[in-house]
Homo-oligomer: A and B are copies of this chain.
Amino acid sequence: MLMTHLPDTGSASHSVPANSPAGAAWQRQGKLWSSLKEVCELLRIPAPSSASGTDEELQFQHMQFKTGQRIHTIGQPFDMLYIVNSGFLKTVLIDEFGSEQVLSFPMKGDIFGVDGIHGKHYTSEAVALSNCDIILVPFKAFSALGKTHAELESAIYGVMSRELVREQAMISALASLSAEARVARFLVFLSQRFTEMGYSGTQFNLRMTRHEIGNYLGLTLETVSRTFSALNAIGLVAVDQRSIVIHDLQALKTLRRLPPSRSRAKQLAAKALAKQQLAGA
Question: Which residues of the other chain, B, contact A167 by a CB distance below 8 angstroms?
Answer: 164, 167-168, 171
Q: Mark A116-141, 1 if CB is under 8 A from B, else 0.
A: 11110001100000000000000000
- B97, B165, B176, B281: the one contacting A278 at CB < 8 Å is B281
Determine whether the beta carbon of B278 is less than 8 Å from that of A172: no
A165, B280: Cβ atoms under 8 Å? Answer: no
Option from B161, B216, B218 in Cβ contact (under 8 Å) with A117: B161
Residues of chain A whose beta carbon lies under 8 Å from any beta carbon of chain B:
93, 95-97, 99, 101, 103, 114-119, 123-124, 143, 146-147, 150, 153-154, 156-165, 167-172, 174-176, 215-218, 254, 256, 274, 277-278, 280-281
Cα distance A277–B281 in the bound complex, in angstroms: 8
Q: How many copies altogether?
A: 2
The answer to whether B123 and A168 have CB atoms under 8 Å apart is yes
Interface pair A176/B101, CB less than 8 Å apart:
yes
Q: A159-B118, A165-B119 are in contact. Are A175 and B143 (CB under 8 A)?
A: no
CB pair A218 B175 closer than 8 Å: yes
Which residues from chain B contact A160 at a C-beta distance below 8 Å?
A: 117, 157, 160-161, 164
Residue of B96, B164, B171 touching A114 (CB-CB under 8 A): B164
CB < 8 Å neighbour of A153 from B99, B116, B143 = B143
How far apart sit A156 and B153, CA to CA, in the bound complex (Å)? 12
Instruction: Determine which of B96, B115, B171 lies in contact with A103 in the assembled complex, contact meaning CB atoms within 8 Å.
Output: B171
A101 and B278 form a contact (CB under 8 A): no
The 6 closest A-B pairs by CB, nearest first: A281-B281, A175-B218, A118-B161, A117-B161, A174-B174, A101-B172
Given pairs A101-B175, A114-B161, A170-B171, 20 additional interface contacts (CB within 8 A): A93-B168, A95-B172, A103-B168, A115-B164, A116-B161, A117-B157, A117-B161, A118-B161, A119-B161, A123-B168, A124-B168, A146-B153, A160-B160, A167-B168, A171-B171, A171-B174, A174-B175, A175-B216, A278-B281, A281-B281
**Minimum C-beta distance from A119 to chain B (A):** 7
